[in-house]
């Protein structure tokens, strides 16, 4: 078993390497990032792969779902992440309606994420229903990560963000979805909000890695949303743990800044630059007299 050392320079992680990690039992670590500073931070921590998730609609753009996220949003975020990343495999989400209407749309938009923004692979939601698209993309050289279970772009069809695959029929449909994605050439599949027992069974069934979120530790890897595990934002989903309280640390720091600006104690001597004494005197002579000066 190998573990990626935090911050140590190595070659870019590839999709084949992620598949090999399943065989060797090395767990895959994935996290979202949406800009250059967050990409630099998660890389320094040693993640294997970065997801430029369409969750950015909710985490950074203030939408209430991922549905309004556009190709322009994804291109800008992916390019920013790419500028902050040297080692992790960058997977970019294909936003809602960028691939569902036609294979042409899917090819053009997936191609843009790789060619213009620097992603190494794309992720799209769905199983059997998108297997043909997955086959077309992989055949033209675009690696695809699948995403089944609770697929947020279908939240209106699901009637909310709910656990999927709870009974035998829906569980078997999920297995079928995963097998269809594998057969179509997907290099990995995200299992979101799936009971742990089912996720473990799917993981055993597949030769490609499963990446869980709310699917238990029996998956080959885990993905989490940057803001959820860092305590940024009020809501923490059940499947996430806050590994730090960065949000309250930021609020506390900005409150100190507010207080010091208002008290006149910031900026202090250390943060200043001075004019040379001769320049001050010359300036004073050159300036017109103010009211009250003779
Ligand atoms: O957009 C996203 O962040 C995702 C993860 C929740 C898997 O798709």
Structural domains in the chain plus CATH codes: 15-224 (3.20.20.60)
Residues in the chain: 294
Tell how far CA 47 is from the center of its chain: 12
199-246 pLDDT tens trace: 999 999 999 999 999 999 999 999 999 999 999 988 899 999 999 999
Q: Is the pLDDT of residue 292 over 90?
A: no
Q: Which of 192, 204, 269, 276 is catalytic?
A: 192
Q: Is the pLDDT of residue 9 over 70?
A: no
Q: What is the pLDDT of residue 228?
A: 98
- Model confidence at 60, in pLDDT bands (50, 70, 90)? very high
Of 34, 51, 239, the residue with max ligand 1 atoms within 8 A of its CB, to mutate for a pocket test, comes to 51
Q: Is the pLDDT of residue 66 over 60?
A: yes
Q: Let me know the angle formed at the C-alpha of 123 by 118 and 125, rounded to the nearest 5 degrees.
A: 155
Q: Which string of b and e fits 5-35 if b means at least 16 CB within 10 Å?
A: eeeeeeeebebeebbebbeeebbbbbbbbbb
- Model confidence at 262, in pLDDT bands (50, 70, 90)? very high
* Ligand 1 pocket, residue 186 CB under 6 Å: no
Active site residue 192: yes
Of 152, 164, 191, 232, the residue with max ligand 1 atoms within 8 A of its CB, to mutate for a pocket test, comes to 152
Pull the structure tokens for residue 280: 């001050």
Nearest residue (CA) to ligand 1, atom 3: 53
Residue the block writes with tokens 């202090």: 268
pTM for this model (two decimals): 0.94
- Model confidence at 21, in pLDDT bands (50, 70, 90)? very high
Q: Is the pLDDT of residue 2 over 90?
A: no
Mean pLDDT, all residues of the chain: 96
């Amino acid at each position: 078993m190998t573990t990626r050392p935090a911050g140590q320079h190595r070659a870019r992680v590839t999709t084949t390497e992620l598949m090999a990690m399943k065989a060797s039992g090395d767990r895959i670590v994935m996290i979202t990032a949406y800009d250059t500073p967050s990409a630099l931070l998660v890389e320094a921590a040693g993640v294997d792969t970065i997801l430029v998730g369409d969750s950015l609609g909710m985490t950074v753009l203030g939408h209430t779902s991922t549905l309004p996220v556009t190709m322009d949003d994804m291109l800008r975020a992916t390019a920013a992440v790419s500028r902050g990343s040297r080692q992790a495999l960058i997977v970019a989400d294909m936003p809602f309606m960028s691939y569902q209407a036609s294979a042409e749309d899917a090819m053009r938009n997936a191609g843009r994420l790789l060619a213009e923004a620097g992603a190494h692979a794309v992720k799209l939601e769905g199983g059997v229903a998108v297997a043909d698209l997955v086959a077309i993309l992989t055949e033209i050289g675009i690696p695809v990560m699948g995403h089944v279970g609770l697929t947020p772009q279908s939240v209106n069809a699901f009637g909310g963000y709910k656990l999927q695959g709870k009974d035998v029929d829906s569980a078997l449909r999920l297995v079928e979805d995963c097998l269809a994605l594998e057969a179509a050439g997907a290099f990995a599949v995200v299992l979101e909000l799936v009971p742990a027992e089912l996720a473990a069974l799917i993981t055993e069934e597949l030769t490609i890695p499963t990446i869980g979120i709310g699917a238990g530790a029996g998956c080959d890897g885990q993905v989490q949303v940057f803001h959820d595990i860092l305590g940024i934002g009020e809501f923490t989903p059940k499947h996430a743990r806050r590994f730090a309280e960065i949000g309250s640390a930021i609020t506390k720091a900005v409150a100190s800044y507010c207080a010091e600006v208002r008290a006149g104690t910031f900026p202090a001597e250390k943060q200043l630059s001075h004019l040379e004494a001769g320049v001050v005197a010359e300036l004073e002579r050159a300036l017109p007299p103010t009211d009250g000066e003779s």
